[in-house]
Amino acid sequence: MNLQNKIYQCIGIPHTALISIILFLMILSFPIGAYLVFNSEIGNDITYEYPMNDLSIFLAGIGFQVPVEFELGDGFIVLWCLFLILFAVAIFGPRKSFVTVLQSIISFGKYHQSQDNYIITVIKWFSILVVVSGVIISVQEFFGISVERVEAPNQLIQFFQILLAPLIEEIGFRVMLIGLPLFALYSYKSSLKLFVKSLWRPSHNLRITDLKKPLLIIIIVGIFFGISHVITGEAWSAGKFAQATVSGLIIGWVYFRYGFAPAILIHWATNYFIYSYAYIVADINKISVEAAFANSLLYTLELMLIVTGSISIVILALNYVFSKRRTLEV
């Protein structure tokens, strides 16, 4: 084993341990969410039988209401199953399973194989997003700029919307505003199969040799994503712009580089995963969701994500250093 792999192996043991714990907590969030919707009292007088009359849809920069009637619980189950399927796909693919890749990292320091598994990519970039967002929020608060959201009139409806948002926004921002332009620029034949595959994973299925245009598109869409959080009906304060923009840039890059599944699951993690624990803590302790974020469980989860994200950033830096060294040697 060469020096590079030995370094990756030393870093990989604690890193993969943290990733495994986070994965377990993500899996646990699925039954927690089901409990919150069907058995808890977070909705007060509103239950899972609450009738929903429309869906807020965002496509290609245009938001509109789709008149469709369904019960909140039915809608939740559909979304819950969809994300569960995506989660299973992420654990076992696209090329190697989570366990197989972990064994390669721990035993041989083969960190380059981490991109062979979606869920490792998801947790790595999600934790990086948490670190970067934390830095932005801390800097803004130092200058008196806070990130605030108006409290929703009903927590059960809000929880449903939190689960719905990743699907709507990833299709509306990433697929429509990044995937379609990239297909128009780089498609090499008229084929429905190529069209679908390129929207699923652009960089893997399109012949892109120059990153300038894709990066420009990702940056523009990322800024638009940030703006949309403060000018639409999402009720965020202006302080949300910078944090949402960076999130849009990171998720946009992940969509371009690794595909739709990891991108939407990162968004799912920032919404549903985090808030499922906040809501269960709030329900058990009979406190507000905002107060739940100060609970020791949420604090521990945040600390775990920050450490994981910091190690992930170190690994990205090492990848850059080693790649530069190989270039100079050639």
CB 73 within 8 A of CB 38: yes
Low-confidence ranges of the chain (pLDDT < 50): none
* Nearest alpha-carbon partner for 39 in 165, 156, 164: 156
CB 273 within 8 A of CB 26: yes
pLDDT on residue 71: 92
pLDDT on residue 230: 77
Domain range list for the chain = 3-329
pLDDT on residue 82: 96
DSSP assignment of 156-216: HHHHHHHHHHHHHHIIIIIIIIIIHHHHHHH--S--HHHHHHHHH-HHHHS-----HHHHH
pLDDT tens digits, 22-76: 999 999 999 999 999 999 988 888 889 999 888 877 766 677 788 888 999 999 9
pLDDT on residue 83: 97
Residue 177 token pair: 């505003």
pTM of the predicted model as reported, rounded to 2 decimal places: 0.93
* Nearest alpha-carbon partner for 93 in 125, 126, 122, 127: 122
